[in-house]
Amino acid sequence: MVASMENIVKRYQAHTALDHMNLTIHQGETLGLLGPNGAGKTTAIRVLTGLTTADAGETRLFGTEMKGAALAVKRRIGVVPQDLALYETLSARDNLNYFGRLYGVRGHDLKNRVDEVLELLGLTDVAKKAPKKFSGGMKRRLNIGCAIIHRPELLILDEPTVGIDPQSRNHILSFVEGMAKAGTTVLYTSHYMEEVERVCSRVLIMDAGHVIANGSVEELTKAAIFEETVTLEVREAAPDLPDSVKKVQGVQRCEPDGRSLTVTSAAGSQNLARIIECAAPYVILSVAAKRPTLEDAFLALTGKKLRDNGGEGI
């Protein structure tokens, strides 16, 4: 076990940011921490990395309780903060050098490692430039680079893709996948479902300061989703279709909309073939079965949409 938090409580004045938060990170996994803005993800990371002390509960990293300095443990983790944490006026190389040195990397090793990381993150050409001149995506990549110079065993990324172009996002996600493949344990925080679904082997869903669900993406969606929907589109008007579809076992609702029909069934009904059968007399233009996603799981678990609060936390 790489890290654990047990019944962590963290209050800011009257506000409880973490309310009996529990978390375990296993060796080699990529754990997603998913939750809307304000769920307490960043606070959890701050407690985990010793930036702030919890009001109650116990945090362990590599078997050591995180208390006070805990320097030996800090050396084994790399933290990519949610907000850019760089010296914007210094060059990319200077930034990497600085954070590398703080972790005790030096001399030839430092130089080689900085070159390696620049290459890995596609920043070799701009190594001498200051990040204040970088695009959002490049800054984000450098922000990550500064956390991995010392080859951490546990890499913690706090919403590393907020506010960047799809290409940079893809680059970062591939990078995380690469790190995971190479054996690094990863804690990946996000409020983007697609990212977590793509890179994480296990997901914790967090809301209001504690974890409300824990499992693989499939387990979570299966457990939380009670409905499945299929949308049929036919060429001519089909007035009898809704009535015949409604008779199919498991179907709960039928909502016609012009020439298309959205059919909602109980989860696990396995009735798609029969629904299509009903439509056989007509010319079917398309059938779309929507697979449940983490987004749906979250909605089902909390009654809230993940990103309905507008504030993107950029």
Ligand X SMILES: Nc1ncnc2c1ncn2[C@@H]1O[C@H](COP(=O)(O)OP(=O)(O)O)[C@@H](O)[C@H]1O
CA distance 106 to 149: 10
Binding residue for other proteins, selected from 89, 112, 249, 309, defined by CB under 8 A = 89
- Regarding 264 and contact with Mg ion (CB under 5 A), the answer is no
Q: Least distance to ligand X from the beta carbon of 160, Å?
A: 13
Three-state SS for 262? strand
Only one of the segments 21-29, 90-98, 118-126, 176-184 lies at the binding site for other proteins (rule: CB under 8 A); that segment is: 90-98
Name the CA dihedral angle for 306, 297, 193, 250, rounded to a multiple of 10 degrees.
-120
20 makes contact with ligand X (CB under 6 A): no
Asked whether position 15 contacts ligand X by CB under 6 A, the answer is yes
Residue with structure tokens 């990549």?
141
Task: Check the CA dihedral 121-145-137-184 and report its sign.
Answer: positive
Q: At how many degrees (to 10) do helices 92-102 and 136-145 cross?
A: 30
Question: 89 is written with which tokens?
Answer: 């006026």
Cβ nearer to other proteins, comparing 142 with 306 = 142
Task: Name which position in 1, 56, 72, 314 contacts other proteins (CB under 8 A).
Answer: 72
Instruction: Give strand pairing partners of 58.
Output: 6
**Distinct helix (H) and strand (E) counts, the chain:** 11, 14
Q: Figure out which of the listed residues 23, 25, 32, 35 binds ligand X, where binding follows CB under 6 A.
A: 35
Report the alpha-carbon distance of residue 47 to residue 281 in Å, rounded: 62
| 122 binding ligand X? (CB under 6 A) | no
CB of 189 to Mg ion, least distance (A): 7
Query: Cα(206)–Cα(137) distance, rounded to whole angstroms?
Result: 27
Sole window of 51-59, 78-86, 127-135, 177-185 interacting with Mg ion (rule: CB under 5 A): 78-86
Q: Which stretch binds ligand X (CB under 6 A): 31-39, 55-63, 73-81, 103-111?
A: 31-39
Distance CA(36)–CA(129), nearest Å, equals: 35
Instruction: Pick the closer one to other proteins by CB: 101 or 235.
Output: 101
Which residues contact Mg ion (rule: CB under 5 A)?
41-42, 82
Which residues contact other proteins (rule: CB under 8 A)?
49-51, 53, 69, 71-75, 77, 79, 81, 83-87, 89-90, 94, 98-99, 101-104, 106, 130, 146-147
